Each structure stands twice: as structure tokens, then as C-alpha cells.
Structure 1
Amino acid sequence: MSISKSNRPSLLRRILILFAVLLAIVSVLVAGTTLQAAFSHSEQQLLKRFETSQQVFTYKLLNDASTIKGALNSAAKDFNTKQLIASAQDDPESLKLALINLQNRLNTDFTIIFDEQKRPLTATAESVNLELTSILDKEVQLLVTSKTIYLIEFEEVRFLENQPNPDAWMVMGMDISRIIDSQVRELTGFELSVVARNKTYTTTNKEYLKIASELSRLPLQAAAPLMVGGTEKYSYHFGFNSIQSEPISLVFSITESSAYLNFFKLMWQLIVVVLVSILIAFFLAFYFAKGVTRPLRQLSGIANKIQVGEYDTEVPSFNSQEVNNLSEAFTAMRDAINHREQRIEKLAYYDELTGLPNRTAFRQQLDKKISTEPNTPCAIMLLDIDRFTEVNDTLGHEFGDKLLCEISRRMQGFQPKHAFYSRVGGDEFAILLNNLSDFELNTQVEQFFSFFEIPFEIDGVLLDIDISAGVALYPEQASKSEALIQAADIALNKCKASHKGFVVYDKTLNTHSIQRLNLMSELRSAIETSQLSLYYQPKLDLETNQIVSVECLVRWIHPEHGFIGPDDFIPLAEQTGAIRDLTKWAIQTALSQHKSWTEQGNFFRVAINISALDLIDLSLPAYVAQQLSELSLDTTAITLEVTESAIMSEPDQAIRALDILKRMGIKLSIDDFGTGYSSMAQLKIMPVSELKIDKSFVLDLATNEDDATIVKSIADLAHNLDMTIVAEGVEDKDSLEKLKEYNVEQAQGYFIAKPMPADDFNEWYSNSNYRPR
């Protein structure tokens, strides 16, 4: 594990960022809260200004209306005005002239005189259409016309002061544009616009002439931004009703920058304060973080040195108690790591029991040799102690460990120049022989074997130890260390299997091993995909000269490797447990073929080989019974052949299984008799009725007197035990005659016929001389 720089932010940067972020959050919260409060206060103040301005403008309207009202009252009481109104029918122009003079003095725009029937008597402006009945007695009376809006007032005229009913009415109006002028803007601080009938009648600023189109978005007595003339204006809406009961809207407006001038000033001031605070805090945090991280950076540098193995690096002390504690912990950690690394290195590269380098160290040494001297030949030798498990089981593991240590000492005492020893497994050692020629190889290996000829004395016990060795050569047999070790291991396995002293690797060994692994994985699928078939070799009854039985032999026709002999795949089936499925398939197939022959009028007992695993599996008798029942066959249809070695591997269980089969009425036969280790006592109790003499005694029967003696003895023994005899491996007529002479009941071999598929067997049998006559 290494300590390296990464893209992760440093502690200094994290502290700075943390301080900056915290200060920014606090500043933003404070500023936000302050600005929000300031903005709300500004809005409230602005709304109060709007409401105050509304009151001021209303007061101005009332004041102007009061002025007009007072002038009309004075004129209505004036004798000359009364006289002109009374004679208006005869002299209207004099009245009109007097009214115009009055308008000019008051700066109004029209005057209308109504008679006692409330009909217009005379008017100074013909364009004003007004009915006296629409005028109400309220504070502000506004008249809306197509062109303008008037502030109007009226007064009753009585020719005699005390009469109850007026004789006429005087109505005067002032254009509202005279009232809404720059004085209003200066007085209120806002632009003012008057809107009625969806159009702007007058405004203090021409930019607001289009405000009527936006007014629908702003309710009465409310303030909100309105888009006017392409810019946003903050506006306040209030209004009156005209004497025609039409709504008249008045809108105060102000630019947003002017409306919130104080707020924006405060906002910028606050922003400057926040930025300055953040800057100051950043420098303070930087200074503080520097003080915190400086000792940490020093310790980090020391850790990097420890990483590369510089354990003598001095760890400084610090003023801060916490950091000094960390420094002391670093010192303790450095010493502990140094100690553990030495311990780990020893455990990783050396065998704890013998002190020799282990498999890892051997692999590294071999890699180093190949990489630094790629053109220099060398060899590796794997040694394995024969029967070491027996030593452990007999004398104990502690004794076995002492033996391994003694072997290691003896090997190291003999260690030749340029050799590297290691213990790579329980009882397995590896030796690297550098700069070795083919001639030197045999000499070196023989020397290694020679010092195992001397017995080992352990705790007063003398032991003769034998070894097996596998040798592989570089670069002749492998160019990489892993392949070279594998080659030596394959050679060692071959050596142990063949009981030779040592075996030098050959590529055919590896090919054979790979093929075996492939076959082990493919065997089950071969059963399921019909790659297997049964071949039938006939057995001849020597008395009747007729075929009475056939031995069923499994053959594997592999789609890639072609024909695979039973000696290659039967042991694999026993190793993987597939032999049970193979046996069941053979029984089912053989009995089906027997039934087919029986239906054709030929009765051939089928003999099927079973293994030791089949005997251990007590479900075999039930399976045989099931197949016989399903095919409606009796037990005379089948013979089960089992080898001596299969019975002797688990004699008690095997005999129990054979007893069950015999009680079922199934004929049992011992195959390859004479090659196993069964005793006469065991043969006597075996529930078998037939012995098959191994072909090794029959092949040279006619010419070899020893084979003849053995065959005759086996035949006599079997007959004395009430068993029949089958001889296999009959290759000539003379051997067949000898078997007849020894009263052997049946024979099989290539002289009679070779194993054949069922169709070929049928054809051969139909043309043979071994049919019933």
C-alpha cells in the first residue's frame, strides 16, 4: 500500500473553504434577512407615500372644486348676473359674455345656465353635453366626455332670496388637465395619469400615455410593478366615479430605482460590508489553517519516507499537545511497522518450519533468473517425499516436522554452487539449478538422490526415505516461470505414478494431462448425447460349439478425438463418480439389445462389467430389478462381472451387495481372475458362480507351460468350488483345444470374434459356424 498524492483537497484548503462557506452562509443569511426587512419596510413606506399622495391629490381636487363653488355662489347672488339670466331669452349674448369673463377669472373651461325647467338656457361651450339631473351633490364631481374629463360644480340661482324653488342653475367645469400638472408631480413625487374608457386622458409624463393597456393587472388601492413604455414602473391605482357613474382611474407611478432608492443604497452598502468581512475572515482562516496543517504536512512527509522503507527518519516534537501526541504515535507506528515488515517478509518469503525460502521466494528467484539471464539455460527440480503421509500417521506430525527439518539441513549441507533451495509445500521441495548443461543435470540429480540413501535418525528412530522428482528445463521446455513450474509438477506426478526415481518433463505428458481434464468434464455429456455405444464380443460354449453369451464393452466415439479406449475413460468415470451413470446406461442398453435378440429367436446372456463404486452403491440391485421388470425379462438374461480388485477394495460391503444380487437369481462372475489379491478363504465365501481367467494366462497357452499349469489349476479349483470357467484372450486354435482339454466351459477372444456393434454382430452371427444346427 502506498501513500501518494491524489486529487483530494488538502486540509488547508478544506479549512479555508469551511471558513469561507460558513461565513458566506452567515453573511448571506444576515444580509438576506436585513435586505428582506429593508425591502418590506421600503414597500410599506412606498405604499404610505402613495396613500398620502392620494389624500393630497384628493384635497387639491376638493380645494379647486371649492374655489369654483365659491365663485358660482357669489355670481348667483350678484344682482347683475340675476338680471342677465332673467333677460337671457331676449339678450343671451350679454349673459354669455358675462359668463366667459367669470371663466377667465377662475381659469375654468365651460359654464352652462339651466332654466327653472332644468333646460339649458345658454352655454359657453357647445361641445359639452350635460344634463342637470345627472349632477349629484357630492364632494368630487367629474364629467367624462370623449375628449377630456372635467371637474364640475353647480349653484342654484333665485331671483328672490327667500323663494323656495330656484329660478335657474349655474354649472361650471374645469378640464382636469389644468389640475394635473408639474405642480402635482412636485407635490407628490410621482407621475400621475388619468384613465377612463380604456384610454389615458392626461398624464404628467408622455411616457405614460399607454398605461391604460396595463391597468387591468392592477386592482384599486393596490401597488405593483407595471410595464410602461418598455420599462417597469412601480404604480399605485385609485379612482373616482363620474357623474355618469363611469369609473375614472388615477395612477401614481415611479421608476423602480427611484422607488427603492434607499433600499438599493442599503443593499450595496451591505454587499460591500459582507465582501470585506469574507476577505478578512479568509485571511484569518488562512493564518489559522497554516498553523494547524504545518505539522501535519511535516508528519505526512515522514509517512512518505516510512512508506519507502526509511525507518530511521527522525520524527520531530511539537508545541501543541495534540500534535505532539500524534508525533509520538507516529514514532511508535514507525517502529511497529518496521518490526512487522521484517516479520511479514520472513513469513512471506521463508518457510517457518525449515527456514528455507518458500514457494513465493522460489517463484521470485526464478522470475529474476529468467528476466536477467534470458539466454542462460537452467533447470528446476521438484522433490516429493514418498510415503510421508504414512510417517505422519504412524509417528505423528511432530515427528514428521522434525524429519522435514533434518531433510532441509542435509540438502543445505549439500547445496552446490548456483543452486537455490526452497520448501514449496507440505513434503515438497523445489531446487533451481543455474547454468546447467544436459550432462550436468543427470549428475546433479543423481547426487541429490545419493544423500537420501543414508537413513535419517529422528528421536532414535532410523528411517529410510525415498523421493520422487520431476525436472523441467529452461528454455527448452518452457520460457516462463509459471509454465516451467507446471511442467516440473507434471513430471513429478508422472514419476510418482510410474514409481521411477525422477522424470524429465516431456510435452506429451502435458498433452495427456490436458486431454484427461477435458475428458473428465465431457464424460457425463457423452452419456447424455449418445456418444457412447456398446460393442458385443461373443462367448463360445466349448461343449456345444455355440454362442451362448456376449460380453458388453463400452466404446466412446468422441466427436473431436475419435475412438477413446475404455482404459482411458473408465478410470476417469470412477474418479468423477460418473461410473454409476455409465453402469446404469450399459445395463439398460444391454438388456434392451438382449430383448431385441430374443424377439429374433436368439438367446444370448449379456455380461456387463461393474466397478467397485457400483458395489458400494446398494441401489444397483434395485435398478437391475427395475430394468428387468420394465423389459419383462428374467434374471437369466444378465451376468454381472466384477474384478478381484473391486471386491478387495471394500470386501465386506462388496460381498453384501453380491449376496443381494445372487438372491435375486443374477449370475455373478469374477473378471480377470489371477491378477488380484484375493485369498482362497475369501474366494470360498464370495457369492459368485463363474471365474474368468485373465487373458495374460491365455494368450501363450499353447506354447507356455507355466501358463498352461496356471490355467489348469484355476479350472480345477473353480470346478471343485462348483464354479464354471470362462477364458478370455483366445487368439489361436491350439489354445482353444487346450481349454477344451482342461474342461473350460466358455471361451472368448479374437480367434472366435472381436467386439462388434450390434448390427455387425448380427451379420457376423448369421454367417458364423456357431449357430444351432
Structure 2
Amino acid sequence: MLASFRSRLLALLLGMLAMVQLGTGVAVLSSLKEDNYKQGVQAIEVAKNVFDSSLDSRVDQLTKSVKILASDFGFKQAVATQEIGTIRSVLANHGARISADVSLLIAPDGKIVAATKELNIDQQVTQLVRSARRTGSASISTMISFSGQAYQLVLVPVKAPNIIAWVGMAFLLDKALAEQLKAVTGFEISFVGNPRDGNKLTGYSTLPEQDKAALFQQAQHLNSLAQQPTFTNNDKYLSLSINLAAKNQWGVLHLPYQPWLESYNRTRTQLLWIFTGGLAFALLVGIFLARNLTAPIERLVEFARQIGLVGSDAKAPAVTGEFGVLSNTMMAMQSSIALREEELTSRALHDLHTGLYNRNAVEQYLTKVLPRHNGCLVLVDIRHFKDLNNLLGFDHGDALLLGVTERLLGWGSGAVMQARIAGDQFLLVFDEEINGAQCHSLCACFEPAFIVDGSEVHLSVAVGVLPFEATILSANDAMRRLDITLDRSKEASASCAFYQTGQDESHQRQLRIIGDLTEALVSQQMFVVYQPKVSVAEKDCHEVEALVRWQHPELGFIPPDEFISLLEQAGNIQQLTQWVIETVLSQLQVWWRNGHQIRAAINLSVHDLVNEQLPAYIAQALEDKALPVTALALEVTESAVMKDRNKVIQVLNGLQSLGIHLAIDDFGTGQSSLAYLRELPVNEVKIDRAFIQFIDTNKGDEFIVKASIEMSHSLGLQVTAEGAENASGVALLEHYQCDKIQGYYFSKPLISEDFLRWLDDFRKV
């Protein structure tokens, strides 16, 4: 919302002005409100003094009227003679003349002798008379409370010549008195009392009815009003209560505050208009100033945006001052960016050493032109260039690459593109296909020796050719097929190889097999079969070899030799091995629980044998299944042992220390069998099927098998022959005292249920 500099500048100006005006307004209104309150309090104080003076003046007048009665001779005689009837008549007549609400005669001891109205104020009067007698007062004036109403009482002694009685007149504080006081003070006046029968207030007030009802709700409210003037009736009045008598009799002064509030509100409205007008004016001025101040900045921002656009030739704006310096700097930056972009583009698409295009440039080109039907790609790989580079040194290796580049440019001058896509690989792109003779001429141009630092260096190359066709849809497809073709050229004796239809599909099949391993293990596409190993001496079977089978839902049956070698290349073989161990041990757990003490052999790969955690893993797996170590055997190939002999022997020693039966599989097919056999911690040797299949017809195989059995026995090792398929071959193996025989003569690999049935039939025979 405030992304632009102009917007932020406007917001800053308006914000500062608003804060100043807001602070001023708050200060003015607060001061005005405080002054209004102080003036109201002063007005109430004046009204309170007038209120007190009015009541005191009324007391003086009433006292004079009562003294006239007290000095009347006839009244004194009636009091002295205790003529009660005469006394009551005089009290009533005189009280009526001065508008007294109650007239009464009190004995010197404080008891009421006669009264014009029954009042339960004996105790109050007695205390007043006794107090006057102690102080010698000539008269008494006070407020008394009766039935929740306040009375102004005046008592004057009747003397003859001593005090023979007290005559009193009581005047109710009613609405008439309140109206009189309102006329004098200009305030609303209320007389409020609390009767004995409850908490509801009663009294008289000059307030309007709706305001009077709010006043008479609670006595506690009057207590708070006595402390200081307080706003009441939703700030309509500023009120102060005055305690008139001991028993919660109050006089309340109400200052109408509405005029004060109206004055305050008018001032607040005026300030609001001033505030709004000031902001509007400031906004107009701010827009004008911001537009002029930010115009150079906006022009520079637009120039910067144009610089960021590819291929832009924007001109710097003509500005002066500090902005002019910035404009010139941005022009210099524009030139530097253009040069830098050109350099980066060249680096991104060219090989820095040879000057040829690089792999990125090739992929961009192929992305634009594919698919197409004419032309081809030629990939040239320098054989053993890494070894040459290490031998000659990097400087001489770079010089050799320049020589290779020169010859390629000379041979492929008609190519659309020449590129170096890897350290020792060069790519040529042609619009026309090349034939075998042209490909061989390419190889021939590398036959002459290269002269590097005075020495002759001979290079050998492998060339892969990929003709364009409609099935090549992307650069990735083309480069993948080209790599496949080059690998074929490296493996073949010929230096040139052309892509053949189906090679990519075979590669895709391999990728599919590697990628589907996890799903195959989870979805039970893989399963284990067991091939019996028959003991020659016992004529019985107590051992099996566990073999993995894969039935793919789309690719069908995948031979073990195919997927195991692929998984070893991809590094996923350990995942398969762990699954096989878990599956076989679960099956052994069932067999041993049912009384079939069978030992199962599992094949390990080189990746398994270099895992130093393998012995601990095997031990834990056997413990989890509650199986003895005699239930498991492990088979390793001699080629796997030779990959990392020291580490493998260390792992085999760990397995042997557990008591695991170990066997060398495919014995006789390696190159170092006899040299290292005595060093391996194994218990058994398995002679490969290549020597067993034709033992009955091939004397050479028979001699090798015989020698292997004798040599193994001399080393204390058991011997198992795998691949026995006929009776004559089995007879020869028994004759040469082979320990165990495995092959289709006895049984093919079986699932667990079929193996148990075969075992029963075999033992019966």
C-alpha cells in the first residue's frame, strides 16, 4: 500500500501533522474539560454557602416567632397550671400562624407534655434539652429525622422566672422549601431521607421526574456525593450532598451541567473541523510537494527498471544535483551490466578452455530443434584421458585437449555445432547423417601422434553416433541414447558404434527394475524358493539354499542374475539382502517350531560383506526369531571377497565368531582361489555348476572336481557340488566323497510348502 517513495513521504507529512493536531486538540479539550469542572465545583461551593445561609436565616425567623409564644403571659400561666387543653389549643393556633408542621411543649426533664402531631422523637428531644441545660443555651435549633423526613426544629425555654418548660416548632423540609432555595441558588434542590422500613429513599426534589427516580435509588450514592461534587444522571448534573441530620437526612445541590457540556461539544466540533481542514490542506500541499520532490526519483526508478530489461537501450534522465550524480552512476552501471551479461552468457554456453560450446548450449539447441528427422549427433570420447592427464600433468593435459579440439574442428568443419560436454568428451551436431566410413575417418584423424612438450602422445577414441529420428523428443532422450551408444562402442572392439533401435528400451528396463525394488518388496512381487542340499553320507536332506525370485506385474519374470547385478551396481542390494534375511528367518522359525531342523543358506553380495555392522545385525535377527546360529548359513562369492579382502575377512571373522556356517560359492571361477582359500574363515566350498554339469562326459571337469574335493578336504572344509543333473554325475561325486550335492537331479528350487512335501517323499524313498 505504501510501496512508493511518494506515498511514504505523504504518509510521513500527514502523520506528523496529524500527531501535532491531535496532541493540540487533546490538550485543549482536556484543559477545557478540567476548567469547566473547576468552575462547576466553585459554583456548587457558592450555592452550598447560600444554601446554609438560607437555612440559618430561616432558623432566626422561626426562633423569633417561637420566642413570641414563649413570652406570652397567658401561655406561661397555662403551662404553669398544666392546663393541657389550653396548651394544645395555643400550640395549634400559633403553629398555624407561622406555618409550623408540628408544635410541642416539653417538660424541663425533656419529656413531651403536649404536641399537635404524634412524633416518636422523645429520645432526640430529651438529649437536646439536657444538652441545652448543661450549656445554658437560650434556644435550640437543629434538624431532626422522623419517618425518613427531615424537620427543622426550634426550641425556646418558657421561664416564670425559671425554666418551667420548652416550647418548640418543627418545620418540614419539603418541596416548597426546595423551590424557595432553588429560586435563591439557581440550583436544583433535593431533600432526601431513608425511612426505617427499608433502603428506598424518599423526599422532595425540584428535579424532573425521570431524574428524581434515579436519585432515590440508593443511599450509598449520597454518601459518595458528600465527598466531592460528582457527575450524576449520565453527566447531566454536577451534584453535592449535604448531611442535614444524624439519621441519613440529606440535602442535595444539583448544578445542571448540560450547558457546560454543550459548550465543550461545540468546542470539540470546531477543533474537529479545524483538524480535518488542516489535514485536507496539508494533503493538497503534500501532493504538490511530493510530486515535485519525487519526480527525479521516479525518472531514475524507471531508468533502473529499463536497465533490468534484457536488450534495453534506455537513456538516463537529464537531472541535476545529487540526482545527476546518481544518474551518471547508473549509466556507468548499465554499461557494466551489459558487458557482464555478455560475458556470463558466453561463459554459460562455452567451454572456457577450448572455446567450444558446452553441454548447456547443446541442450538448449536440441530443445529448440527436436524432434527432427535429419541429421545426427556424434560423441567422441578420449579413452583413458584421466590416466594421461595424471601422467602428463594438468598443463600438458590442457594442451592435449587443445590439440584434440583443433583436429575435431578440421574434420567436422561442416558441423552445425562443436562442443565439449565433459572433460574427455566432445560432441558434433550435423544436419546430415554420417556413414561408417566417415566415422572411421574421424577415428583415423586421431592416429597421428600429438606432440606435447616435445613428446609424442598417442590417443585412442571411442565414437558413438545417434541419427535423429521422430522418437527423440527431448535433449534428455538424445543424450541418454548417445551415452548408451558410446558405452557400446567402449565395450566393442570397433571404435565406432551407431545407435540401434531397442537399446534405449533395454536401458529403460534396467532403470525400471532398479526403481521398482521397494514396491516389489512391499507388494510381494518377490518371493523366496528353497533348493535342497542332499548329504551324501546320510542320504538325507537337512539344508537348503534360499533363492530370490521376482515376478513383475508388467515385465514378467525377471531372472535373478539380471536384477541382482543391477541392484549391486545401483547400491540397493543391501535393501534386498535385509528383506531376504527377514523372510528366510521367519520361515525357519516356522519350520523349527514344527520340528523341521533345517539350515538355510543365504547369498551375500560384496556390499553386504563390507558392512561392519553385519555380524551384529545377524545376531540380533536370530535372537528376535529365537533361532540357534546352526539354523543359518551364509554364502559369499570369491569375487566379492577380492573386492576389499581385508575388510571382508574382518566381517567374516565376526560372523564365524557367532558360530555362523560360512561357504565360498562358485569356487573355481575366480583368479585367486588357491592363493587365498586358506586365509578365508569359511567352513565349506561350493564347486560351481560349470564344472559339475558335464562331469560324466568331460574328463577335464572330472579331474578339476576331484582335485577341488581333495584339496578342500585337506584344508578341513566341506564340499558341496551344485548343478548335478544326472545319475552318472551324482555317482562320480559320491565316488570322490563329495559331502553334499545340489541340483535338479534331486529337485528344482521349491516354495516352502512344496519343499516339505518333497522332503517327506525323499525320506520315504
TM-score, L = length of structure 1: 0.70
Tell me the CA shift for residue 282 of structure 1.
4.1
- Give the aligned residue type for 2:233: M
Query: Is 1:45 aligned with 2:39?
Result: yes
CA gap of 1:207–1:57, structure 2 versus 1, over 3 A, is farther
CA distance in 2, matches of 1:264, 1:669: 106
Tell me the CA shift for residue 298 of structure 1.
1.6
Match of 2:241 among 237, 242, 245: 237
Tell me the CA shift for residue 155 of structure 1.
3.7
Query: Is 1:199 aligned with 2:202?
Result: yes
Tell me the CA shift for residue 60 of structure 1.
1.0
- Give the aligned residue type for 1:457: F
Tell me the CA shift for residue 29 of structure 1.
3.5
Tell me the CA shift for residue 302 of structure 1.
0.9
- Which residue of structure 2 lines up, in the alignment, with residue 466 of structure 1? 461
Query: Is 1:344 aligned with 2:337?
Result: no
Greater shift, 82-91 or 500-509, is seen at 82-91
Match of 1:55 among 45, 49, 54: 49
CA distance in 1, matches of 2:664, 2:88: 162
* Matches for 1:309-458 after TM superposition, within 5 Å: 309-310=310-311, 312-316=313-317, 318-321=319-322, 323-370=323-370, 380=377, 382-415=379-412, 419-434=416-431, 440=433, 442=435, 446=439, 449-450=442-443, 452=445, 454-455=447-448, 457-458=450-451
Tell me the CA shift for residue 513 of structure 1.
1.4
* Matches for 1:594-743 after TM superposition, within 5 Å: 671=666, 673=668, 695=690
- Superimposed CA distance per residue, residues 39-59 of structure 1 (whole angstroms, 9 cap, x where no aligned partner): 334323322321221111110
CA distance in 2, matches of 1:383, 1:283: 74
Match of 2:228 among 222, 230, 234: 222
- Which residue of structure 2 lines up, in the alignment, with residue 482 of structure 1? 476
Match of 2:59 among 51, 58, 65: 65
Contact residue 696 and residue 702 of structure 2 kept, 8 A: no
CA distance in 1, matches of 2:398, 2:337: 31
CA distance in 2, matches of 1:10, 1:410: 60
CA gap of 1:552–1:154, structure 2 versus 1, over 3 A, is closer
CA distance in 2, matches of 1:90, 1:617: 134
Contact residue 110 and residue 172 of structure 1 kept, 8 A: yes
- Give the aligned residue type for 1:531: F
- Which residue of structure 1 lines up, in the alignment, with residue 305 of structure 2? 304
Contact residue 190 and residue 253 of structure 1 kept, 8 A: yes
- Which residue of structure 1 lines up, in the alignment, with residue 175 of structure 2? 177
Tell me the CA shift for residue 214 of structure 1.
3.5
CA gap of 1:656–1:152, structure 2 versus 1, over 3 A, is closer
Q: Give unmatched runs, 5+ long, in structure 2.
A: 130-136, 195-200
CA distance in 1, matches of 2:608, 2:361: 46
- Which residue of structure 1 lines up, in the alignment, with residue 531 of structure 2? 535
Tell me the CA shift for residue 256 of structure 1.
3.8
CA gap of 1:651–1:200, structure 2 versus 1, over 3 A, is closer
- Give the aligned residue type for 1:392: N
CA gap of 1:614–1:12, structure 2 versus 1, over 3 A, is closer
CA distance in 2, matches of 1:179, 1:144: 16
- Which residue of structure 1 lines up, in the alignment, with residue 295 of structure 2? 294
Contact residue 540 and residue 748 of structure 1 kept, 8 A: yes
- Which residue of structure 2 lines up, in the alignment, with residue 3 of structure 1? none
- Which residue of structure 2 lines up, in the alignment, with residue 258 of structure 1? 259
- Superimposed CA distance per residue, residues 185-207 of structure 1 (whole angstroms, 9 cap, x where no aligned partner): 35433211222242132426555
- Aligned-residue CA RMSD in angstroms? 6.1
CA gap of 1:699–1:276, structure 2 versus 1, over 3 A, is same
Query: Is 1:248 aligned with 2:252?
Result: no
Contact residue 359 and residue 420 of structure 2 kept, 8 A: yes
CA distance in 1, matches of 2:609, 2:104: 143
CA distance in 2, matches of 1:75, 1:670: 148
Q: Give unmatched runs, 5+ long, in structure 1.
A: 1-6, 769-773
Contact residue 112 and residue 121 of structure 1 kept, 8 A: no
Contact residue 729 and residue 750 of structure 1 kept, 8 A: yes
Counterpart of 1:315 in 2: which secondary structure? Answer: coil
TM-score, L = length of structure 2: 0.70
CA gap of 1:335–1:471, structure 2 versus 1, over 3 A, is same
Tell me the CA shift for residue 306 of structure 1.
0.8
- Give the aligned residue type for 1:24: A
- Which residue of structure 1 lines up, in the alignment, with residue 21 of structure 2? 27
- Superimposed CA distance per residue, residues 216-264 of structure 1 (whole angstroms, 9 cap, x where no aligned partner): 3232243323338xx84332211301xxx54321222244433445544
Tell me the CA shift for residue 761 of structure 1.
7.2
Counterpart of 1:65 in 2: which secondary structure? Answer: helix
Greater shift, 745-754 or 387-396, is seen at 745-754
CA distance in 2, matches of 1:382, 1:691: 45
CA gap of 1:112–1:631, structure 2 versus 1, over 3 A, is closer
Contact residue 558 and residue 564 of structure 1 kept, 8 A: yes
Tell me the CA shift for residue 481 of structure 1.
3.5
- Superimposed CA distance per residue, residues 528-548 of structure 1 (whole angstroms, 9 cap, x where no aligned partner): 99933443577999xxxx989
CA distance in 2, matches of 1:658, 1:119: 128
CA distance in 1, matches of 2:213, 2:156: 37
CA gap of 1:324–1:102, structure 2 versus 1, over 3 A, is same
- Give the aligned residue type for 2:231: P
- Superimposed CA distance per residue, residues 569-627 of structure 1 (whole angstroms, 9 cap, x where no aligned partner): 443465436499699969x99xx99x99xx999xx999998877788899999999999
Counterpart of 2:423 in 1: which secondary structure? Answer: coil
Contact residue 726 and residue 744 of structure 1 kept, 8 A: no
CA gap of 1:566–1:467, structure 2 versus 1, over 3 A, is same
- Which residue of structure 1 lines up, in the alignment, with residue 507 of structure 2? 510
CA distance in 1, matches of 2:365, 2:711: 66
CA distance in 1, matches of 2:193, 2:91: 31
CA gap of 1:369–1:92, structure 2 versus 1, over 3 A, is same
Counterpart of 1:504 in 2: which secondary structure? Answer: coil
CA distance in 1, matches of 2:677, 2:709: 12
Greater shift, 355-364 or 546-555, is seen at 546-555
CA distance in 1, matches of 2:579, 2:170: 132
Match of 1:164 among 162, 165, 184: 162
Contact residue 609 and residue 648 of structure 2 kept, 8 A: yes
Q: Percent identity?
A: 19
- Give the aligned residue type for 1:535: Q
- Give the aligned residue type for 1:305: Q
CA distance in 2, matches of 1:614, 1:246: 105
Contact residue 149 and residue 201 of structure 1 kept, 8 A: no
- Which residue of structure 1 lines up, in the alignment, with residue 6 of structure 2? 12
Counterpart of 1:313 in 2: which secondary structure? Answer: coil
Contact residue 577 and residue 604 of structure 2 kept, 8 A: no
User: What number of residue pairs does the alignment pair up?
Assistant: 709
- Superimposed CA distance per residue, residues 156-211 of structure 1 (whole angstroms, 9 cap, x where no aligned partner): 455x7xx2235773637476434322x64354332112222421324265554424
Contact residue 726 and residue 745 of structure 1 kept, 8 A: no
Contact residue 148 and residue 249 of structure 2 kept, 8 A: no
- Superimposed CA distance per residue, residues 95-118 of structure 1 (whole angstroms, 9 cap, x where no aligned partner): 689848953xxxx45584748789
Greater shift, 271-280 or 306-315, is seen at 271-280
- Superimposed CA distance per residue, residues 419-459 of structure 1 (whole angstroms, 9 cap, x where no aligned partner): 3343333323445555x6xxx36569737844555445241
- Which residue of structure 2 lines up, in the alignment, with residue 213 of structure 1? 216
Counterpart of 2:229 in 1: which secondary structure? Answer: strand
Contact residue 16 and residue 289 of structure 1 kept, 8 A: yes
* Matches for 1:70-109 after TM superposition, within 5 Å: 70-73=64-67, 99=94, 102-103=97-98, 108-109=99-100
- Give the aligned residue type for 1:189: G
Counterpart of 1:555 in 2: which secondary structure? Answer: strand
Match of 2:30 among 32, 36, 51: 36
CA distance in 2, matches of 1:536, 1:752: 11
